[in-house]
Chain A
Amino acid sequence: AQSVTQPDIHITVSEGASLELRCNYSYGATPYLFWYVQSPGQGLQLLLKYFSGDTLVQGIKGFEAEFKRSQSSFNLRKPSVHWSDAAEYFCAVGALNDYKLSFGAGTTVTVRA
């Protein structure tokens, strides 16, 4: 069975500082990996995804993530956060021909001025 672990429940970062959110997955085959963001009271919005190819993927809002198979990780990064990046971030794993996703518990990001 596939599973996702997000070790950090809550991260506080200063505006303009860099951000890295950790994600570790467990899956027997090649995973499809995703990062979603949820603003308060809103649904989940896709930030970026990895299916295959280049292990460094770019997403919306200046986010990027790197797939490291040897570490079973798919960490999300942003070089300089904005106050509007305060939200909850979810890592998810899926697979070819298996359309359901398993989500991590989420990481809440607080941005301080």
Chain B
Amino acid sequence: DAGVIQSPRHEVTEMGQEVTLRCKPISGHDYLFWYRQTMMRGLELLIYFNNNVPIDDSGMPEDRFSAKMPNASFSTLKIQPSEPRDSAVYFCASTRTGAGANVLTFGAGSRLTVL
């Protein structure tokens, strides 16, 4: 299995621009998570999906952030408009219901820099 695939790996953009981060979970996994990692706040859960349905989005910072999962093999995290304080590494992770379901497999992350 190719693991959790995230793109882009690096993104540099200017304040006010729209940013879209993408994630392909492991095939057969029915849970997908978006985390954000910063020096100040560590790893924060932004949102997670089960069977493509958002279950908990309480970690989404504000309305500028949105996430979708149109099908079992694809999810996006969008920031519009972006701000410098959004600079962080964004991780996607997935797992499946059942034994060991709490074991998340992480992607390599998307490093976002907003100038």
Chain A residues proximal to chain B, CB less than 8 Å: 32, 34, 36, 42-46, 49, 51, 90, 94-95, 98-106
Interface string of B94-115 (1 = CB under 8 A from A): 0100001111111111000000
Pairs of residues from A and B, 10 with the lowest C-beta to C-beta distance, nearest first: A43-B106, A103-B43, A94-B102, A44-B106, A43-B108, A105-B42, A32-B102, A99-B31, A43-B109, A100-B45
The total number of A-B Cβ pairs within 8 Å is: 51
* B31 contact set on A, CB distance < 8 A: 99
Q: Is the CB of B108 within 8 A of A102?
A: no
Given A36-B106, A99-B31, A100-B48, 19 new contacts (CB under 8 A): A32-B102, A34-B102, A43-B109, A44-B104, A44-B106, A46-B104, A90-B43, A94-B102, A95-B102, A99-B33, A99-B48, A99-B102, A100-B45, A100-B56, A101-B104, A103-B35, A103-B42, A103-B43, A106-B43
Q: How far is the CA of A32 from the CA of B106 in the complex (A)?
A: 18
Most chain B CB within 10 A, of A32, A43, A45, A105, is at: A43
Q: Which residue of chain A lies nearest to B43 when distances are taken between CB atoms in the complex?
A: A103
Cβ of B21 to closest chain A Cβ, rounded Å: 14
* A102 contact set on B, CB distance < 8 A: 45
Chain B residues proximal to chain A, CB less than 8 Å: 4, 31, 33, 35, 42-43, 45, 48, 50, 56, 91, 93, 95, 100-109
Report whether over half of chain B's contact residues are helix, strand or loop; otherwise say mixed.
Answer: strand
Q: Which residue of chain A lies nearest to B92 when distances are taken between CB atoms in the complex?
A: A43
Q: Is the CB of A99 within 8 A of B91?
A: no
Q: Which residue of chain B lies nearest to A105 when distances are taken between CB atoms in the complex?
A: B42
Q: Is the CB of A49 within 8 A of B103?
A: yes
Q: Which residue of chain A lies nearest to B42 when distances are taken between CB atoms in the complex?
A: A105
Q: Is the CB of B107 within 8 A of A43?
A: yes
* B107 contact set on A, CB distance < 8 A: 43
Cβ of A53 to closest chain B Cβ, rounded Å: 13
